[in-house]
Every structure is written in C-alpha cells, then in structure tokens.
Structure 1
C-alpha cells in the first residue's frame, strides 16, 4: 500500500486490521555491525591483477642474468659471446567461491510497511551483506596465502632476550631499536631483490607496540603543538621507518560456528608483520612480492559478481548470490620478510 493511502484514517485502520502496528520500527536508526570499508586488508597490500581466463601462465625473467655484468672487452677482429637472458614461466589458477543469502518475501512486508529508511528494502541490506562477505572472505584468503609462518623464505622471530640469528627483540621491548632494525631488513631486500621495500603490514598488537615504543615517541614528540599535538599514526610511523605505506591489519571475523556465541578475532595474526615491495597496479617488466589474480568470470568488469533470483513457487522467497574468483599468489619470494611473535 502506498504512503498516501497509509496516511488516511481508513488506510491506517485497514493496515492495523491486517496486523500492522503503528511506529513498530524506528525510522532514524538501526543496528548493523558492518565493517568500516578501510578495515579490509587484501587489496591494500598486493595489487589486484585481472585475468581473462581462470588459469594461465605469466613470464618470469631470470634475476641472475639481468643482474650479471655481461659486458666484455671486444677482441680485435672478433666479437664477444651473446649474453644470456633467461626466461621462465609460472602459473596462476583462480578458484570460484560463492555465497547465497535468502529473503523471505512475506516477512519483508513488515519492513516495507513500516517505512523505515534503513531497512525498508531487505534486498538492499542482503546485497550489502553479500558484498561484505566477499570482502571478508578475500581477507581470509589473504591471511592464508601471505600472512603466516612458512610462506616466505626470509622469516624472523621475536624473542624476549639475547637475539641471535634470525631473532629480534620484541617490538614492546624498550631495548628494541625499530628504526635500525627495519633499515637493516630493508637493506637485505634491496640487496637480494633489487627493490627497496615500500610496504609494512602490521598485525594490530604489533602496530600498538611500535606506536608506543619509546624510540618512536621520542622522534615525534617535538613535532606537535598545543593545537595539533604530536600523535603516532600509520602515516607518521611510515615516515619514521622509511616506508611509503604502513597498513594495520585490523579486519575481524567470527570464528564461532552457527548457533554458538560470537567469537570475534582478527583475521590476520595480530602479533605478526610483513615487510615487502609491491607495485600499486600490475606492471610489465616490474617485480612484486605478491599478486591477487582475479578472474572476471561473468564478463561484468569485476572479479565479484552479484545476482538475484526467485525461489521455488510457493516458497515466497528470493535469493542474493555473490561470486568471486581469485588466486593469492606469491610471485617474488626475495621481495618480502615476515616477522612472527613481534609482541
């Protein structure tokens, strides 16, 4: 029934007779724990690389040949041997993931008749839910593919005392020297991978430890004023440590099973960190520690696809479907260093 009919006494009486209750739903608020868009992790660390087919190959050029001095003195009346420029190939394979959420068309009438702006269209809410599921799943795939022990060849572990080998004092230790430590690790990557690492991804507790470290605070405390006090933010930390970007991995998810009390956890290990070099967008003749290959399976220009369809006759239901096809691929192991037990 339209709003004009509802506004008449006869219309209101008719709706009450059908079971409608005046002011059943508030029109100016609702509760929904959707994540903040900036919390999502995956696309901010490694670039999205769209691909035309679900699987295929990409070229790799031999780093040793590119970095070797192949120039030699030309012999009289002769020539030098041709330089070798080795090439190889690697493969990607995108897998399709799916989510489906249902809409009870009869139950939806209560929302529609209440004229509450936030919930009057259940379809809109369910589409947002499905989209959020896509982002949540992408971050989980990122954590499984890139952000755990055993993925990267260069891995360091925090310790409480006497670090040796690939050990370091934990970030919350006052004797830990964060600027010197990350300078040394950047030097390692530059030497072996020919690129200066530009990104530092920090688990939430690792970030808090660095943010509150006395050495970091000491370096910024005189940069503020009464009106604008010095605060250690992600941008400030990036400047102090020498990175283009510091990203805090703060997306969360519920690890409990359906029917159990929610158990909210950080998707990425809050005590870990990843330092790497990555391009902002896919590049030709440029390395990147990782890529997120995405397949546009339906040809709609996006690696996520949404669809809506009716349920079976008599069910008075419809469904929202979300599809996503990705492959989290480590493409240059020598351009990243992973840190565990940072706190």
Structure 2
C-alpha cells in the first residue's frame, strides 16, 4: 500500500520524505498540488492506504481535494490526515465535514506523525480484512440481489457511514475532531443524543439497504431540524446519533422530538415489501462539559445516557470509544 503526501511547500515534502522512511514507511509518493494528486489517484497506478493533504494550497486546496477523494467509492473510507499550520477552527471544521479522518499541525512532530499514521494504517487494514468494502458500499447505495445482501450484512452495533447528508461525519472522525481541539474549544460544545425507538426490531425486519436508508433519513431529519445551528452530527451504532452544538444554545428536547417526528412523516418512512415501519426518534437533554472535565467521550456518553434515561447507552459508548 502507498501513502500519498500532498503539499505545495517543498520543505514540508522534504521533511515528510525524511520522516516516513525513519518510521518504516518506504512506499510513498509526493505531489505539489491538489490537481497533481487528483491525477495520480485517477491514474489508478497505485493503491493508496492513507492520504496526507495540506489544507491551504493554491488552486485546489486540501479541503476540496478531500471532498474529491471521498466522492470516489474506492477511497470513501481511506484515512485522510490533513496537514495544517493554521489553528483556525473554521478550516479544521470544513476539513472534517468534507471527510477528513484526522489532522496534524505544522511543524510536524515525528512521534505524533508516527502515532497518527499507525492508527490510520490499522484502520485501513481492518477495513481491508472486513467484508469486501467496495461491494458493501455498492449494496448500501445501489442495492443488489437478496443473496448478496444477506452475505454482506453488517451488525446493528456497527457505526456505519452515512453519506450525502450535510454536517454528518463518521464516529472515528468525530472522535479525532474532539480530541484534537484544545480544552477551551471543547468546553464550548454541548451534545444532544438521539435514539431510534426499538432499533433491534427495525434491524431485524429490514435488509441492510433498507436499514441504511432509515439511518440516512433520520440523519437528514436531525440536520434539517437543527440546520440553523452550527451542528455536527454522527451515527454511533445501535440506532444512536449525537449532535454537537454550541453550549450556549438553549434547547427544548420535547420540541425537537416533535419537529423530528414531523420531518420523518414528511419523508414517509415506509420500507419493505409488506411491513410498514413506523420510525420514532427519542431525544435526550443537552449534555455539557465542565471546565475541569473536558473529556469528549464523557460528554457524549452523558448525552446518550440522557435519552429516555437510558444509562446503558452511555456506558456502552464510553467503553467502546477508541482514543487515537
């Protein structure tokens, strides 16, 4: 597997070219622009396992390039690590919302780079060992025959990716995003948990394609309900979502639940050939960080635990939250 490093600064490319072999990564390619990187990807002469993208480049910047990479089914889940000298939250947010997995700040620290890259490579290897990822995505997006559908079934607990819904990122991306923020910036967030009612029944009564469609509709309903706020949404598995919002906002969870029900009714969530599925989403009270406890996994666990007072939901999430 090949690494692709993209940066318009030749000094950074020289630094990366010296560091990567010292960490045991000899197979890598450097590109000096987003356009050059895109040509390398489209030529298909190499299979890339991790991308390093500079955020700020002339022409096609790293954020746009990240979006182009994510538009390809082949690289929909491949780790993308952004390189940035900026601490501007808006740029970091934009990168994660276009599909970035993680980010590194310049100047590049060898130990930190090695740690992030090991996590990225483990993630890629796990994805390669799992059921054929390409075929699985094609099933979810386009559908296949029932035999293949059954063969590629995912588990209810899997935090599967939700595509093409604004402000939605993966659970790993959410984890990395929060952990890379400073303590003060994390303190500025609050979280609201969402849980689909009786997800086990929905999961049992639907095919993977149908269940993925339900999750996509719920994610879109959450976004539409909260779209006037600076929201970030993630699906965490087991029918659970979390939304990050500015902590200063005041919310009426009962009203959000009503608004969600209206949206879901508009979407006409009736799936399957014969069985109409009534999808209901429960909303928890907002959870906020304290100045002295800014552990993001604790805040998200509390948000999930406050959905109908479901204490087990929060503890399950906290136990499964992997720190990169």
Q: TM-score, normalised by structure 1?
A: 0.20
Larger relative helix fraction: 2
Greater C-alpha radius of gyration: 1
Q: TM-score, normalised by structure 2?
A: 0.21
**Higher RCO structure (Cα 8 Å, ≥6 apart):** 1
